[in-house]
Amino acid sequence: MKTLDVIVVGAGIGGLSTALALAGDGHRVTVLDAIKEFAEVGAGIRIPPNAYKLATHWGVDFSLIKKDVSRGNRFVRWNDGKVLCEVAFGGKENGEGEGMEARYGAPYHFVHRADLVEGLRRTAEELYSSNITIHTSTRVISYDFHKPGVLTANGEEYTGDLIISADGIKSLARDAINGSPIVPVDTGDVAYRILVPGSALLQDPDPGIRGLVTERWATHWMGPEAHVVGYPLRGGELYNIIIDVTHRTDLGSPLGDADWGKSTDNTGLIERFTGWCPAVHRLCGVAGECVKWKLGELEEPLGRWVDESEGRVGVLGDAAHPMMPYLAQGAAQVMEDAAALRYALSYYLSSPSPSPTSLSSCIPSALHLYQSLRAPRASYITSNTQILQEWLHLHDGPAQEARDGVMSRGDTEENPIFWASAVRRDWLFGWEVGAQARALGVSYAKEGGEGEEEEEREEGEGKRKGVEMGIPKFPPLPPPEASVYPGKNLRAKLGMAETTC
């Protein structure tokens, strides 16, 4: 297979995943990032099977990463802690029969973002040192589509055969590719990211509070214009808390127009969540210092992921499809992007390969295939974060009562909780790039790689039965009069009929 010199902008999860995926095929990858050094930043993230399988295929050794196997997602009422719905992930680790690993090929994990980034970086250093070079303190300030190349703030120029920008929601490359600034819009919510020592909860006299750390559920407390999520990290050393609240009911110090995040204390949280159940009030009380983030998204799905002039610069991850964290798929989707990019390049660069055969034609064709593989799925998942936002933040009333009733019925496509439908779980967690490509009429046989080897095994196993199915229908939306976000008019935007729970 022809190999390329690739420039990757961004050394986060997306950039490092891209480097590993491409280096595995022999490409030479230079990663550029403005950070001075890799440091322990961020908080907890969830690594579902669709992401875990990719990372292990690229060589990431999860035995070196502190992690917790999730028991599942638990949804509870805001004021009394009543459990409304449990989506159990099962598995031998949880003593609960067939689970994620049996059905999708990997468990579902909680990890610290910094631990995952370090695992990706370590893999690049130890397995691909001859193919991956990482430059820190290197901020990209402009793109040249014709070379293609990038210019950095210190005056250095880097050129290659292909440039992939994983430069985040405020992407410079996205604006350049589309010819004008594409400014993320406000989602209506802010998020507080909080890490507390697990010991602070394990010493609590309330067994329910201690169980938050020991039982390994991702617990979601749903209430008026807010929800709280918590789960353990690093074997209970830490407890990760995410508090999402509407702007209009947030009592913390406001973010400025130019601010995407800032440190703050828990004073506003304690006041804001007065009246919520004791568990939530306890979490707010131990929060101490936290980081408050603005949640942004694109007003419309990004139409152009690849530059039209030469077709050798593309975007990936939050630069292409920023999404709210409500489906816990941000890391997984950027890793899927990397896998799809690798597949598309391999398809066009392999020998023998379909025409076109020239390098100048192969790369644009590969990048457009990459967008075709990824854009519909990323858009659907983004839309589902918006649907879930509506349901999680309902005020008490008829719509909330209908929601709670349907949630209690468990596995049904009418359940507003995305994971509560087996059809949707199969589609989400069972993704493999080879199956996605075949759905577009693209396939080829090759030993190894993400997705090709399952062409022979899928039919026999019958475990990932949702891999090649079409995109599921959307869950219902609450009635318009119950929406906390009436200005979004999400029903019209998604073309949904007037149906609800």
**What digits encode the pLDDT tens for the residues 391-408?**
999 999 999 999 999 999
Domain of 215 in residue numbering reads as 186-297
Q: Domain holding 14: CATH number?
A: 3.50.50.60
**Domain assignment of residue 413, yes or no:** yes
User: Which distant-in-sequence residues (6+ apart) come within 8 Å of 272 by Cβ?
Assistant: 226, 245, 249, 250, 251, 252, 284
**What is d(CA 117, CA 122) in angstroms, rounded to the nearest whole number?**
8
Predicted confidence at residue 254, as pLDDT, reads: 85
**Domain assignment of residue 36, yes or no:** yes
* Average pLDDT of the chain to the nearest whole number: 91
**Domain assignment of residue 479, yes or no:** no
Task: Report how far apart, in Å, the C-alpha atoms of 413 and of each of 165, 407, 465, 499 are.
Answer: 36, 11, 16, 13
**What is d(CA 400, CA 177) in angstroms, rounded to the nearest whole number?**
43
Instruction: Confirm if 111 and 69 have CB atoms less than 8 A apart.
Output: no
Residue 385 forms beta bridges with which residues? none
Residues 212 and 311 reside in one and the same domain: no
Predicted confidence at residue 454, as pLDDT, reads: 38
Instruction: Confirm if 326 and 162 have CB atoms less than 8 A apart.
Output: no
**What is d(CA 79, CA 109) in angstroms, rounded to the nearest whole number?**
28
Predicted confidence at residue 416, as pLDDT, reads: 95
Residues 96 and 228 reside in one and the same domain: no
DSSP state of 449: S
Residues 178 and 219 reside in one and the same domain: no
**Domain assignment of residue 429, yes or no:** yes
Find the DSSP H helices in 393-484: 398-407, 422-429, 433-439, 454-461
**What is d(CA 474, CA 416) in angstroms, rounded to the nearest whole number?**
9
User: Which distant-in-sequence residues (6+ apart) come within 8 Å of 297 by Cβ?
Assistant: 184, 185, 187, 322, 323, 324, 382, 386
pLDDT digits (tens, 9 = 90+) for 285-342: 999 889 999 999 999 999 999 999 999 999 999 999 999 999 999 999 999 999 999 9
330's enclosing H/E stretch is: helix 330-349
DSSP state of 93: G
Nearest-CA neighbor of 187 among 317, 303, 323, 316? 323
Residues 171 and 308 reside in one and the same domain: yes
Encoded amino acid at 135, one letter: H
Residues 115 and 208 reside in one and the same domain: no
Residue 457 pLDDT greater than 60, yes or no:
no
**Domain assignment of residue 229, yes or no:** yes
Residue 243 forms beta bridges with which residues? 192, 228
Instruction: Confirm if 338 and 344 have CB atoms less than 8 A apart.
Output: no
φ, ψ of residue 13 in degrees (nearest 5): -60, -40
Q: Which two tokens stand for residue 80?
A: 């009394």
Q: Which two tokens stand for residue 101?
A: 């690993």
**Domain assignment of residue 467, yes or no:** no
**What is d(CA 394, CA 60) in angstroms, rounded to the nearest whole number?**
40
**Domain assignment of residue 276, yes or no:** yes
> pLDDT tier at 453 (50, 70, 90 boundaries)?
very low
**Domain assignment of residue 491, yes or no:** no
Q: Domain holding 239: CATH number?
A: 3.30.9.30
Residues 252 and 339 reside in one and the same domain: no
Residues 231 and 259 reside in one and the same domain: yes
Residues 124 and 250 reside in one and the same domain: no
Residues 253 and 212 reside in one and the same domain: yes
* Tally of domains in the chain: 2
Residues 395 and 271 reside in one and the same domain: no
Residues 191 and 312 reside in one and the same domain: no
pLDDT digits (tens, 9 = 90+) for 234-268: 999 999 999 999 999 999 888 877 778 889 999 99
Domain end, chosen from 265, 297, 329, is at 297
Residues 109 and 69 reside in one and the same domain: yes
Helical axes 13-23 vs 330-349, angle rounded to 10° = 30
φ, ψ of residue 132 in degrees (nearest 5): -120, 125
> pLDDT tier at 450 (50, 70, 90 boundaries)?
low
**What is d(CA 390, CA 461) in angstroms, rounded to the nearest whole number?**
37
Edge-to-edge strand order for the sheet containing 72-77? 83-88, 72-77, 217-223, 226-233, 238-246, 185-197, 290-297, 261-264
Nearest-CA neighbor of 420 among 398, 431, 433, 404? 404
